[in-house]
Amino acid sequence: MKTMQQDEKWDTILRPRSGLFVFPWRDVLRYRDLLYMFVKRDVVIIYKQTVLGPVWFFIQPILTTVIYIVVFGGIAGISTDGVPKALFYSAGIVVWNYFSESLTLTSRTFTDNANLFGKVYFPRIIVPIAKVLSGLLKFFVQFLFFVVVMVVYLLKGTPIQMHYHIIYFPLLILLMAGLGLGIGIVFTSMTAKYRDLTFLIQFGVTLMMYATPVIYPLSSVPEKYKSYILLNPVTPIVEGFRYAFMGAGSWSWGGLAYTACFMVVVLFLGMVTFSKVEKTFIDNV
């Protein structure tokens, strides 16, 4: 007689992925509806119980730009390469905010979703990907603010020279998203075991901003320090963005190639560590 176990037939069998270099891209495609729901959740929940709601998307870059104008442009007197201060700082803020928030939010994937991960199966990598995709909405809203500022100056007759490199704008977005996702999942894999690192991430992101030409142009950096600033993979993105839209800064294919290589390496390391940690994360919580 056949045993009951032999008679049982299962429609779906869930097994852990074997191998360190097996990534769940097919699972991500299968669960694309869940990915969409996570993106929608992240967009809606942030400002759901606030009075001004999505208006905060505009308020944050406006207030930050004003503070930068007063502190760095006025009190510190930092050069903006002849570009109007409001335009110069808003450009840096738009780029930096998307990268830094993508990194920060993805770096909390395991700690913020421990309860969810312990209840139901789905490809865990969907969560950090959703954070990066949902951040695109805020990025484009803030980019609209930058465009409005630029149009105001154009109407006032301020000479602003846009370059054909503007067609590579999607490439800059891809590099920002990839860097934020890659570095973020590396850190979330580490903080799953070493929780102390969560206190250092925000501090490290702030320090990294000062090592990026957000509040100053690369041309104003002394030569002896410039090579260190160029080691920052976000530097070519910020400089390229300003060059494409305002004619300030510089466009470096070599720098962008370095950023792309850095992104690929950090994404690979992130996926490897993420894949390894997610198998035992719940046991360590």
3-state helix, strand, coil in the chain (%, to 5): 70, 0, 30
H-run or E-run covering 245: helix 235-246
Higher pLDDT, 54 or 63: 63
Per-residue confidence band for 75, with pLDDT thresholds at 50, 70 and 90: confident
pLDDT, position 11: 65
Backbone angles phi, psi at 265, to 5 degrees: -65, -45
pLDDT, position 17: 54
DSSP 8-state secondary structure symbol assigned to residue 15: -
* Inter-CA distances, 8 with 4, 5, 14, 83, 152, Å: 6, 5, 15, 72, 70
The Cα–Cα gap between 83 and 77 comes to: 13
The 3-state DSSP class for residue 142 equals helix
The Cα–Cα gap between 218 and 234 comes to: 12
Which one-letter amino acid corresponds to residue 142?
Q
Q: Residue 210: pLDDT above 50?
A: yes
Q: Residue 12: pLDDT above 80?
A: no
Give me the count of residues in the chain: 285
The Cα–Cα gap between 100 and 153 comes to: 28
pLDDT, position 52: 59
DSSP 8-state secondary structure symbol assigned to residue 72: I
Per-residue confidence band for 2, with pLDDT thresholds at 50, 70 and 90: very low
Q: Residue 116: pLDDT above 80?
A: no
C-beta of residue 131 within 8 angstroms of C-beta of residue 207: no
pLDDT, position 1: 46
Q: Residue 151: pLDDT above 70?
A: yes
Average predicted confidence (pLDDT) for the chain: 83
Q: Residue 56: pLDDT above 90?
A: no
The Cα–Cα gap between 177 and 172 comes to: 9
pLDDT, position 259: 96
Which pair of structure tokens corresponds to residue 26?
A: 């097919």
Backbone angles phi, psi at 214, to 5 degrees: -90, -45
The Cα–Cα gap between 69 and 279 comes to: 48
Q: Count Cα neighbours of 272 within 13 Å in the Cβ-side half-sphere.
A: 8
pLDDT, position 173: 95
To the nearest 10 degrees (0 to 180), the angle between helices 235-246 and 169-191 is 160
Which pair of structure tokens corresponds to residue 213?
A: 């030409």
Domain positions in the chain are 23-284
Question: pTM for the complete prediction?
Answer: 0.85
158-174 confidence digits (pLDDT tens)? 888 888 999 999 999 99
Q: Count Cα neighbours of 275 within 13 Å in the Cβ-side half-sphere.
A: 16
Pick from 8-22, 251-265, 270-284: least confident = 8-22
249-258 confidence digits (pLDDT tens)? 889 999 999 9
Per-residue confidence band for 196, with pLDDT thresholds at 50, 70 and 90: low
Contacts of 269 (CB under 8 A, 6+ apart): 182, 186
Contacts of 162 (CB under 8 A, 6+ apart): 244, 245, 246, 247
Residue 53's region, left for phi above 0, alpha for psi from -120 to 50, else beta, is: left
The 3-state DSSP class for residue 202 equals helix
Q: Residue 18: pLDDT above 80?
A: no
The 3-state DSSP class for residue 70 equals helix
pLDDT, position 4: 47
